[in-house]
Amino acid sequence: MALVSLFALSLFHVFLVGSQPNSSQQASGHQGAQSLLGTDNLSFPWSRLRLPRYIVPLHYRLLLHPDLENLNFTGSVQIQIDVQNNTNWVVLHSKGLQISRATILNQNLAHLSEQVLPVLHNPSHEQIGIFSPRVLSSGQKYFLYIEFGAKLAEGFYGFYKSTYRTSSGETRNLASTHFEPTSARMAFPCFDEPIFKANFSVRIRRSPEYISLSNMPVVKTVKISNDLIEDRFAASVKMSTYLVAFVICDFKSVTATTSSGVKVSIYAAAEKWSQTNYALEVAVKMLDFYEEYFNIRYPLPKQDLIAIPDFQSGAMENWGLTTYRETSLLFDPPTSSISDKLWVTMVIGHELAHQWFGNLVTMKWWNDIWLNEGFARYMEYISVEATYPELKVDEYLLDTCFAAVGHDSLNSSRPISSPAENPTQIKEMFDTVSYDKGACVLHMLRHFLTDDVFQSGIVRYLRKYSYKNAHNQDLWDSLANVCSDMLLNVIFRLWPHVLISNCLLQYLFAGEHLDLTAMMNTWTLQKGIPLVTVTRKGSRSVVTLKFPHLFSFLWHIPLTYKTDVSSTIHRHLMTTQTDSIHIGEEVSWVKVNADMTGYYVVHYEDGGWDEINKLLRENHTALSYKDRSHLIHNAFQLVTAGHLPINKALDLIGYLRYESHTVPLLQGLGYLEAFYRLIEKRHEPELTQNLGTYILRFFRAVIDQQTWSDSGSVSERRLRSEVLSLACHLDDPPCLERAQQSFKDWLQSNGTLNLPTDVAEIVYTVGAQDNDGWTSLLHAYNNSLSAAQKHKILFALTHSRDTNKLLELGVEGKVIRSQDLSSLILMVARNPRGYQLAWTFVKTNWDMLVKRFQLGSFCIRNILIGTTGHFSSPKELTEVQLFFESIKEQSSQLRATQVALDNVRKNVRWFQRNLEPLRDWVNDQLK
């Protein structure tokens, strides 16, 4: 699942930025049809959150009939089950379903009882128990048959309703699913845990004006009556319930075929059909790439990608039917920017990587969801770099790792693999740690093992556990066994020499047989990020591992470093708290963590930062752009942690006047912008003015070089958007004048003028500052068929003075869709005139927000962290604490509340340490 892209939320996100049933358990009540057997003498047979293991589902035969006029559905499911212990009970999941009938049949489809069976409900565990008066015998297979119905869900989980509006103003309904992680039980009774893989045969009844889609192709369509059609889909491969999907809509599609014969189709509302072509090209390329990279054929005959108008996350990897938010799939050349194009490409790459990582091989339980999401996030970069090298995706991997470091530096962070039992805890696992830290740890491992060994290991892992479930240890074993096998075959010369030497290198690197499990457990089973300090003593560098947060953690760190005397990247595996490396007395500088392939922070003690500063000013190209960006990040990270004075870090980025590469330029500019955006909310008018003046003066040449066009490379276009956006925010007169003229031209064209996509958001933002412009933009937002354009306009509208009306529209959910409410709140919170309003809105509407987005969802997490991330005073910290105390029953279940508090505390400490030194430094620069 791809999460929706977010802004940097705070200064410091940028910086660091089977048992037997228990008959004593009390029943929770019985719903649905009355049973002749009665329930008076029965109590719910199971007390645990996880289902018993003594019944295993083998095959679901599911029939669904959604009514898109009355917004409800009925259905039936026949589940073939394998009974492994004698029992009278079948316990499975159901949430919000009205069960009207339940029976159990033997292998010959004969009823075990003439009576309707009792169904007991345990709503707190989202489970039902079905009682059979006849014992189900161990070693036998049976069929469980259930009839049920429910309303199509409100919100974004389960089997839910969605709508879209045509350009003529007609509202049309559709029904779609989103089951990950625990919502398949909202659509049909099922064994809703990832380990219960089964085959699924789906039938869907619909009106003739609609189409239906599911994981597999339609094999037969039957006319039930004049106004009812039944689509029968092929049986699926073996998969987990959260990957089942179905959509009933009236969309159009474009189709192509991969080189191996897989049919790929992109679906969207008819009026947005023209925006599907780029996604089709990407999906075909990506499937071809993954089949070659994983050396495993995509196992289904088709892959559908569909843009759902109401969708909470970025996308979802349902096998054979991936679902997307419109901004994640549709590309409209007149209004979509290069950043939009990159986003669509990466999200498709993410979801198609899941067809192997997650779908073919699935984690055993949600504590290891990073095996799905960390891999898919990392494969975004590998796949896009291979298929669309012109997008320069490698330049963005650093930002992913910087975001992970920012989150991981907080006390409230967690290990990559963490316990999670109930649905709220499971939803919270879909966070920065699983996605970004998971990807960056895999990046480190790939560089440690080398590309070839890494690829061979994951292919071995995917082959061995195809259609099965796996956990961390299985991955480490697969990777380690590649090296073992290669070394065993050295004698016989059976492996390419390059692979032999790579594996031999890693064994020598470790000094003995590589214990990959021991190494990787230090990265996945403990939280935080190591701080490595470097001290020069003659011909040696003493490397010290320091523990953050006073925890006695020790990591096995694959150190890399480079010096001025050699172009070689040196390697050293650090497994102790203090280590020493011989670098030679002739070395004048050493840069540790080459190209930031490792996930650790580096501090250069005893004048080491002065050496780095001197190097950057005199010969910055001696280091790669990744090294330069990493040094800037490390310096400001250390400022936040209290290890480096802020003036040292600010002096370090002074070299940027000579910098020509986008990534380090944006890294340095990003910190200054983060300072500015926090300080402008602190009632520090003089410092705010002076810092803005300094930024404009320092980056004057870079600002003046920008054109208001879509010309240039991807890197140049990215720089243009960022630099001009900040310049206009700082009230730079040339920037404002150009934006105002462009907005005037756009208005006079009645919206027919296509603004350059890289600067359109800037133009809209400047234009939204007066009432006429704001009204015109809201009208354009309401009528636009481009999700990318709507996002740009909404951003602009939130940076005006009238943000309260926007929040009201977001609650109403008509002009601004409910799916965009969480993003809307975060946008308002970025506005120095709106951040208090956003926080007040969250407090006032908390119950509504939880109902709409569900407790534990990434939307709730982002709302909490995003609206509080702009606070930096003790008074504001107290406000946040009091609110969380007032919703203690809910906040106590959320890790996000601790993250939010940690962020505010860190902001408070930063201001206490750095406000006056920053004021003095800026004043000195302006003299």
Annotated binding site for Zn(2+): 350, 354, 373
Identify the bridge partners of residue 546 per DSSP, sorted by sequence position. 531
Quick one: tokens of 529? 């990020």
Q: Radius of gyration over alpha carbons of the chain, in Å?
A: 29
The one catalytic residue in 147, 317, 351, 380 is 351
Q: Rounded CA gap, 694 and 280, in Å?
A: 46
Query: How are strands ordered across the β-sheet holding 127-136?
Result: 87-93, 127-136, 119-122
The DSSP code sequence of 159-195 is EEEEEEE-TTS-EEEEEEEE-TTTTGGGTS-B--STT
User: What sign has the CA pseudo-torsion 216, 219, 222, 226?
Assistant: positive
Please report, in range form, the residues annotated as the binding site.
350, 354, 373
Which neighbouring-strand residues pair with 163?
173
Q: What is the DSSP letter of 621?
A: G
The tokens of 679 are what?
Answer: 């300080």
Q: Is residue 129 within 8 Å of 44, Cβ to Cβ?
A: yes
Question: How far apart, in Å, are the Cα atoms of 52 and each of 44, 48, 200, 401, 610?
Answer: 13, 8, 21, 39, 62
- Whole-angstrom CA distances from 34 to 23, 102, 299 are 22, 11, 44
**Cα 629 vs. chain centroid, distance in angstroms?**
23
- The sign of the CA dihedral 363, 368, 374, 375 is negative
Nearest Cα neighbor of 822 from 845, 801, 796, 805 is 845
Q: Is the CB of residue 100 less than 8 Å from the CB of residue 147?
A: yes
Q: Which helix (H) or strand (E) holds 290?
A: helix 277-294
Q: Give buried/exposed letters for 605-631 (b at 16+ CB in 10 A, else e).
A: eeebbebbbebbeeebeebbbbbbbbb
As a whole number of Å, the end-to-end CA separation of the chain is 51
Going from the C-alpha of 550 to that of each of 486, 554, 641, the distances in angstroms are 41, 12, 13
515-520 — which CB contacts under 8 Å span 24+ positions? 516/476, 516/479, 516/480, 517/473, 517/476, 517/477, 517/480, 518/556, 519/556, 519/558, 519/573, 520/441, 520/445, 520/472, 520/476
Any residues with CB less than 8 A from the CB of 859 and at least 6 apart, and which? Answer: 312, 822, 853
Q: Distance (Å, rounded) from C-alpha 471 to C-alpha 748?
A: 60
CA separation for the pair 329, 345 (Å, rounded): 8
Q: Are 250 and 267 in contact (CB under 8 A)?
A: no
- 885 flagged as catalytic: no
Buried b (16+ CB within 10 A) or exposed e, 871-880: bbeeebbebb
d(CA 734, CA 109): 79
Indicate the DSSP class of residue 433.
I
Dihedral angle computed from the Cα positions of residues 22, 24, 29 and 31, in that order, rounded to the nearest 10 degrees: 40
Q: CA 516 to CA 321: how far, in whole Å?
A: 36
For residue 662, the number of C-alpha atoms closer than 13 Å in the C-beta half-sphere is: 21
> 680 and 688 in contact (C-beta within 8 Å)?
yes
Q: What positions carry a catalytic annotation? A: 351
